[in-house]
Structure formats: C-alpha cells, structure tokens
Amino acid sequence: MDITTPDTQEPHPAPRPPAPGRKHTATRPGDRIFLGLSRGAGILLLVIMAAIAAFLAYRASLAITKDHGNFLTTLEWNTGVTPPVFGIAVLAFGTVVSSVIAMVLAVPVAVAIALFLTHYAPRKVSGPIAYVIDLLAAVPSIVYGLWGALVLVPNLNGLFGWLDTYLGWTGVFSWDGGAPRSMLTVGILLAIMILPIITNVSREVFRQVPRMHEEAALALGATRWEVVRMAVLPFGRSGVVSASMLGLGRALGETMAVATVLSPDFLIHGSLLNPGGGTFAQNIASKFSEASEFGRDALIASGLVLFVITLLVNGAARMIIARRKEYSGANA
C-alpha cells in the first residue's frame, strides 16, 4: 500500500483512526498523568542504581588508591596501619565457595520439592507444604543465624567426622577437629535459607507447563517420570536457572546468618571443614562499626566487588537463558 496516496482519491473519505505517533493524537489527562508517574518510577529506579554505583565507586577509589597491597590478591586486611595493606582475595574465595556449596545442596532439593508439589502430591498435601515453604521464606535471617549457631553447629561434629574419615584424603574434606564453624557450615545454612525462594519460583514455572505438552508425552507411553523428563524439566529449565540465580543473589549477600555461625580468620583454607575464612558481607558487618573513616572506605571497596560479582552472576544467568531461547516454551 502506498501511504502517500492523497485522501482526495477516496470518493467518500471515512473518518480514520489517527496514525500512531502523530503529534495531533488526542490524549486524555488520566493517560498523561499515569504515563508521567510510571515513567518517573522507571527513571527513579535508574537514578537510585546509578547513585549506589557512584557512591560505591567514589568511596572505594579513596581507599584503593592508598592500598599498598594488591587489592585483588592480597591475603590480609590491615587498614589501621601505615601504609595500609588490604585485599579481597579471602573474601571473594569465601563468598563464592559458601554460595556454591549452598547452590549444590539447595537446587536439587528445591527442584525435587517443586516437582513433588506440582506433579506428584495430591492437592490436599501440596497446599499445606507450599504454605510452610512460604513461611520458611519469611523467617528473618538473624533467626536462621541463631538457629545455626545454637542447633546446627553443635550437631555437625558427627557429619564432619564422617566426611573426614571417608573423604578426608581429598584434602577438601579433611578436618582438624576445630569447632564446625567453617565454610561448609555456612554453605549448609545458606542452602536452607535459599531453599524456599528457589522452590517457590520453580513451582510456579513447573505449574505453567502446558497440559498439552504433558499429554503429548503421556500419549507416547511415557511414565510419570518420563513426562517430567520430556516435557516438564525442559520447559522449566530457564525458569529454574532464574530461580537459582535469585537464590544465589541471596546467598552471596547474606550477612547476619554468616556472621553468626562463622569463625572468621581471614585465611583461605583448602579444607571446607576447618573453621575460618570470611565473606564480603560478613566482613563488612563485623568490622564496619569499629572501623576508621579510611577503614570504612576500604570495606566499601569490598562491597563494590560484591556488587560487581552479583552483576556478573545475573548477566551469566541471562546468557544461559537466552542461548536456549529458540528451544524454550516461549514460542510454542
């Protein structure tokens, strides 16, 4: 169609809807107000993000420029001496290791719970269980921390001893018999804390698997497990990745619970069972109140690194999801 055709060629020009994007399009006050509000909210979000990033970057630069160690590789945190020497290697190691342990423990269990609730449990059972999981998500992290310190830690000696006996030769699971306030303890506690969010999001995703895909598998003679494997898990894959990333985000930034169960010593331990180590958030929480102005800047610099790690994790998750887009359920 030639859009430049003059109107006069039409013998009876009918009233047309205004072309989109034209200036003379009539607008109503309600629309304009709502547009302004929603656009403002969107801009505000960007401004807040930029402000946080700018604050972190500025305060961090004050500290990093005076650091006489290598900020990324130094294995100590001495901000009170002259010249100051500090680095985030121990914190990065501890944060990543504890979060990885939490993911390894939590994701399979969460996916299994979500599958049970959506595809195996009768409705009478799945409702109450889902409710309990929601409750678990609402428990404050300090309560998890207290439970971890008072219940979990005293009961881990058996597990640690067992791991040391049978897997101690790997080095990763060797144990010197110290209090079980180690990276593994933190990982276990974090796993429990991120279980509800991963379960809930996965459950929503599995629930949205179209009935017709499941029936397709059933009609081919698939058993219940084969239906899950052929239709449910592939459809839910990207959703489970997003759910896991939400959980990972919480694990990376968890502060109080980690600070309560860990015995920090600012060392990188080859064993997951020996007490010690540290994470970004725990280190900031433990040192911030007693730190000097410069010490605070240094802690903020470590916070900036955590911020960057979180961004990278989110970016990686988006890439994983995008790579499988062609095969996702979205174009079904």
Partner 1 sequence: MAKRIDVSGLTAYYGSHKAIEDISMTVEPRSVTAFIGPSGCGKSTFLRTLNRMHEVTPGGRVEGKVLLDDEDLYGAGVDPVAVRREVGMVFQRPNPFPTMSIFDNVAAGLRLNGDHRKSELNDIVERSLKGANLWNEVKDRLNKPGSGLSGGQQQRLCIARAIAVEPKVLLMDEPCSALDPISTLAIEDLIGELKERFTIVIVTHNMQQAARVSDRTAFFNLAGVGQPGKLIEIDETERIFSNPSVQATEDYISGRFG
User: In the complex, which residues of this chain contact partner 1 (CB under 8 A)?
Assistant: 210, 212-213, 215-223, 226, 230-231, 234-235, 237, 324, 326-329, 331-332
Measure the CA angle with vertex 316, ends 311 and 317; round to 5°. 100
Our CB check for partner 1 shows the closer of 9 and 331 to be: 331
In the complex with partner 1, the residue whose CB is nearer, 237 or 318, is 237
**In angstroms, what is the minimal distance from the CB of 224 to partner 1?**
9
Closest CA to 266 of 105, 111, 94: 94
**Is the Cβ of residue 217 or residue 248 nearer to partner 1 in the bound state?**
217
How far apart are CB 326 and partner 1 at their closest, in Å? 6
- 174, containing H or E segment: none
Nearer to partner 1, 2 or 326 (CB): 326
End-to-end CA distance of the chain: 32
Question: Closest CB to partner 1 among 139 and 322?
Answer: 322
Minimum CB–partner distance for residue 246 and partner 1 (Å): 22
Give CA–CA dist 103/91, Å, rounded: 18
Cβ contacts of residue 271 below 8 Å, gap of 6+? Answer: 171, 172, 173, 174, 175, 176, 182
CB 189 within 8 A of CB 152: yes
Tokens of 267: 């060392």
Closest CA to 186 of 161, 153, 151, 155: 153
Is the CB of residue 305 less than 8 Å from the CB of residue 280?
Answer: yes
- The distance of closest approach from Cβ of residue 107 to partner 1 in the complex, given in angstroms and rounded to an integer, is 19
Taking CA 107 as the corner, what is the angle to CA 106 and CA 108, rounded to the nearest 5 degrees? Answer: 100
Q: How near is the Cβ of 235 to partner 1 at its closest, in Å?
A: 6
CA 234 and chain centroid, separation: 21
For residues 46 and 332, which CB has a smaller minimum distance to partner 1 in the complex? 332
Closer residue to partner 1 (CB): 15 or 221: 221
Q: Minimum Å distance from CB 214 to partner 1? A: 8
The length of the chain, given as a count of residues: 332
Q: How far is the CB of 220 from partner 1 (least distance, A)?
A: 4
Place of tokens 């007693």: 290
H or E element in which residue 86 lies: strand 85-86
Smallest separation, CB 213 to partner 1 (Å): 6
Instruction: Closer to partner 1 by CB, 212 or 319: give it.
Output: 212
Contact 144, 189 (CB under 8 A): yes
